[in-house]
Amino acid sequence: MSAWSITTPIYYVNAEPHIGHTYTTVVADTLARYHRLAGDDVFCVTGTDEHGDKIAEVAAAAGEDPRVFADRISNLFRSTWQELGLSFDRFIRTTDPDHVRAVQHVLELVHAKGDIDFREYRGLYCVGCERFLTERDMVDGLCRDHERAPEERTESNYFFRMTRYFDALGEKIEREPDWIRPARYRNEVLAMLREDSGLEDLCISRPKTRLDWGIELPFDPDYVCYVWFDALINYLAALGYPDQPGWEARWGGVEHLIAKDILKPHGVFWPCMLMAADLPLYQHLNVHGYWNVDDRKISKSLGNMVSPLKMRDKYGFDAFRYFLLRDMSFGLDSSFSEEALVTRINADLANNLGNLVSRTLNMTARFADGVVPEPDAAGPLEAGVEAAAREAAREVATRMRELEMHRALEAIFRLVDATNKYLDERAPWKAAKEPERAGEVRTTLHTCCQALRSIGLLLSPFVPDTAAEILDRVGATDALASARLPDDAERWGAVSPGTPTRKGDALFPRIELETGDA
RNA sequence: GGCGAUGUAGCUCAGGCGGUUAGAGCGAGGGUUUCAUAAGCCCUAGGUCGUUGGUUCGAGUCCAACCAUCGCCA
């Protein structure tokens, strides 16, 4: 038994949950479910990031207290995940008192160590934006947004001296090639650490005169903590750092899941912060790509945000999460469209899986009195199905270690295919017409029930409701309670003859593509 | 402008330690079957492996340049 702490980013409360948030959260949920079924000790965390100027601005514009605004959006995230059946051991908010304490604790540690210093700097400040501009923000010397000249201004802030840790971090990454994965992102982080990348010490504060919606610095009440020294520490706080029992064990097995847009904070800032605080580094940083929608980037202005609740209402959440997990190669960008979703549902879930369940249980009802039949001796065809189950179980275990969920699902569906093919080869609907072949019919249906049990177990982390339904229909209702993956999915003979089965309705009815209006 | 990634059948992608006829799934076409959700099963894809040049007996597979897309940085 090993400890797995699985984290999603804490989502910034300036947007409602969309397909991007949903994907990361579904991956976390799937990993957590898989490891629970593997008998591991799992702690799964998500939450919301609520401080910073964007929230202060939006709240002010609405004439609202930022706290009230943040409460509303944070609750929206929490209730969305709950409604979708994505469960977590902790939903953390950066406004939670224990998070605030953890942030201040780390700040004190790092400050005492001498890794935080106070610096004065000059820059071009836009009064409209209320911030310093970079070259990128300007066109012809004017602020891009406000079309006015910024003024030179001096400000003092606290800086985290993270460049001190770049060498040590680089060595860590060289030493452990899969620490940041997939490899493409590891390379990017290495590039960031090179001297010519321009990456410097990190500004971690804002004067309260400019922003007061944040966590106060423990060593200077005139400043609040800015962005990453606040947000990243949620990962520690959620596990109980610094004073709740058990946090260290959980921290020992942390798997971070992020999208590629926040690679730098997680691949560079965060490990440097942990080293500065003399804390162990996370197990892996797992980085995935973006979802495009109808081949375009997700954006508010395009209105193509894809609400997970709407997808659930229209197609069922298992179908939606199956698509997300099956169609994205972890690490690469992928494209969502309802057409692609429907295609996937029909091909995999309706035709292959759903239909296999239908035909198996229908024949069990017709030819075996609706109970799992007593088999005769197994022949080579039966051995083939058993071997397919074994292969699927093992490949799923391998793929899950690498976070290649699309490959894991491919492997499971090879078992589904093998079972469909087996059924055709045995053709029990023909054998049933010949009384002397009754034993063969029983053996065949018994084997299919066995296969469905394996399929249900393996599928459970990915499409939990569907998997539970399949197991229930083949009389393996209790299988999940005592299951241990992957071994249990390849254990043959676990379905007891005589157990009642249930035919049920179509698991995934085929969907006809609608012609126009949406 | 610098660094990096990607570019393989209509679509999504495998292969990429150089070597027999370049693979899978989906979609499409044909066949077969009827237990099943007009599902399953069987057969069929002849794709200059982005372009051009090089290394080699031999290159999607190595090297260079270029083009396209994307990301990071400036």
Q: What is the pLDDT of residues A104-126, one digit of tens each?
A: 999 999 999 999 999 988 888 87
A90 HSE (CA, 13 A, CB side): 25
Tell me how far the alpha carbon of residue A63 is from its chain's centroid.
35
- Which whole number is the average pLDDT over A463-492? 90
Catalytic, out of A44, A143, A225, A449: A143
Cis peptide preceding A509, ω within 30 of 0: no
Question: Model pTM?
Answer: 0.93
Q: Can you give the pLDDT at residue A433?
A: 93
H or E element that contains A326: helix A317-327
Q: Any bridge partners for residue A91, and if so which?
A: A46
Residues A93-118 as b or e (16 or more Cβ within 10 Å = b): bbbbebbbbbbbbbbebbbeeebbee
* Residue at minimum CA to C1' distance from nucleotide B14: A407
- Which whole number is the average pLDDT over A293-316? 81
Confidence of residue A451 (pLDDT cuts 50, 70, 90): very high
Higher per-residue confidence, A150 vs A69:
A69
Higher per-residue confidence, A234 vs A289:
A234
Separation of CA A197 and C1' B53 in angstroms?
Answer: 33
H or E element that contains A258: strand A254-259
- Which whole number is the average pLDDT over A167-189? 86
- The reply to whether A146 belongs to the active site is yes
**For chain A, how many helices (H) and strands (E)?**
22, 17
Strand B nucleotides with an atom less than 7 Å from a protein beta carbon: 2-6, 12-14, 25-27, 33-42, 70-74
* Dihedral angle over CA of A20, A259, A300, A87, nearest 10: 40
Closest nucleotide relative to residue A350's CA, C1' based: B37
Amino acid at site A48: T
Separation of CA A400 and C1' B59 in angstroms?
Answer: 34
Q: Of residues 13 to 52 in chain A, which lie within 7 A of strand B by their beta carbon?
A: none
Domains, in order of start, for chain A:
3-288 (3.40.50.620), 316-327+337-490 (1.10.730.10)
Tens of pLDDT, residues A188-217:
888 888 777 778 889 899 999 988 899 999
- The reply to whether A21 belongs to the active site is yes
* Residue at minimum CA to C1' distance from nucleotide B33: A424
Confidence of residue A518 (pLDDT cuts 50, 70, 90): very low
Tell me how far the alpha carbon of residue A91 is from its chain's centroid.
14
* Contact of A468 with A480, CB cutoff 8 Å: yes
Tell me how far the alpha carbon of residue A245 is from its chain's centroid.
26
Q: Supply the ipTM of this predicted assembly.
A: 0.90
